[in-house]
Amino acid sequence: MTTRRARFPSAQGWLRWALIAVPMVTAMPRADGLAWVLIGVTLALSVPMPWIQDLGARTPSAVLALAVIASAGALWVVLPGSWASVALFSTTFFVVLRQAPAPIALAVALNAALIATVWVLRQDRWETALSTYAVLAVVVLMGLNRRARLARLEQTELALARAQTANEEHARAAALAERARIARELHDVLAHSLAGLSLNLQGARLMLVRDGASPDAVAQLERAQQLASEGLAEARQAVAALREDAVPVERAIADLLAAYRLDSGARADLEVAGEPRELDPAVGTALVRAVQEALANTRKHAAHAEVDVKLDYADGSVRLTVADRQGRRPPDAAAAGYGLRGMGERVALLDGHVESGPGEDGWRIHLTVPA
């Protein structure tokens, strides 16, 4: 089970699919037995293309893209004059744009071999093969140029995010300093004055009782002493409130994920479902500590793995799911570590429960606490 949101294919996803499907359809009138097989295989492989977000650098998407290149290229060899080369080169472009160096090298080598095969079978002039290699070079250069541009945009966004975080931290530090100053003033002036007033009123009440004063006078002093005591308690609560700076759970988790992104360079996303609300401090602490422990385990056992976190505000409870994407099913742990046991104990004290274990493509932690 994963927490990735179901999303409708993007325009780029549909374009990627169309650049494969349309050439296959145009090749059908000239197809024979083998060509029909290759057309069917290529169309079947193209079905997941719209749902693969930007052909992200993962093993399944790389294998799928290389399989499309191989099947479309084989059709181009069988039907040299068809548009199968469009599917071949367009898929190669998206591989260069998003994949790791190894799949890119395989895709370029596969293209080069297919071009040479077509040239040999057709016995064309060497200029024809050279022009096709030039097209391949242009496709690769366009993909690399687009890739570099996207990398620059990501670096710019990261720099802006860092600057915004620094400004927010500076403003927060200034606010905390001002609140600390006000808290000191309240404590040193108001709280001390109320404490002294309460003691003096208590002494005056005892003197009136000793001297046999009227019950009404003693009752009035008792009432004044009670008001002074209540005012002192409220002043102390105000000082405590000013001293504390409760950070929303969503912000705390987002900060942990931002630190993980900066540390590992991998994607780490937070999805919030339901209507966020103020949580009990113990509940918020349990949720933040759970994400912290999960990220620590990911750094230790699956460095640079992508992470998805989902925080779901349900009626009467809050559910948290942390799943890392290792690209494979991890082995079962021999025994829960101290961190996971501590997480379970903390959640159990809140009458919640924790589930952790391997998923289809990584490790998954799911906890539910009443809130």
Tens-digit pLDDT profile for residues 236-293: 666 666 665 556 788 888 878 887 887 777 889 999 998 888 888 788 888 988 998 8
Question: Helices 33-46 and 11-27, interaxial angle, to 10°?
Answer: 170
Q: In the predicted model, is pLDDT for residue 52 greater than 90?
A: no
- The mean pLDDT of the chain is 81
218 vs 115, residue with greater confidence: 115
What sign results for the dihedral spanned by CA atoms 167, 173, 176, 180?
A: negative
Query: Which among 228, 230, 208, 229 is positioned nearest to 218, based on CA atoms?
Result: 208
Residue 303 backbone phi and psi in degrees, to 5: -55, 140
d(CA 53, CA 61): 9
Q: From CA 115, how far away is CA 246, in angstroms rounded?
A: 63
The residue ranges of every structural domain in the chain are 11-124, 166-243, 249-370
Residue with the larger pLDDT of the pair 197 and 86:
86
- What percent of the chain stands above pLDDT 90? 11
pLDDT at position 357: 85
Going by pLDDT thresholds of 50, 70 and 90, the confidence category of residue 229 is low
DSSP H or E run through 325:
strand 317-325
Quote the tokens at residue 296. 């620590």
User: What is the predicted pLDDT for the residue at 244?
Assistant: 57
DSSP-assigned beta bridge partners for residue 318: 313, 369
pLDDT bucket at 5, cuts 50 / 70 / 90: very low
CATH class as words, domain 249-370: alpha beta
What's the average model confidence in pLDDT over 308-332? 88
Q: How confident is the model at residue 1 (pLDDT cuts 50, 70, 90)?
A: very low
Higher pLDDT, 45 or 169: 45
Mean pLDDT over 52-72 rounds to 73
Say what percent of the chain tops pLDDT 70: 86
pTM for the whole thing? 0.47
pLDDT of residue 316: 87
Where residue 77 falls (left for φ over 0; alpha for ψ -120 to 50; beta otherwise) is alpha
Rounded Cα distance between 217 and 214, Å, is 5
For the residues of 124-151, what is the DSSP string, one character each? --HHHHHHHHHHHHHHHHHHHHHHHHHH
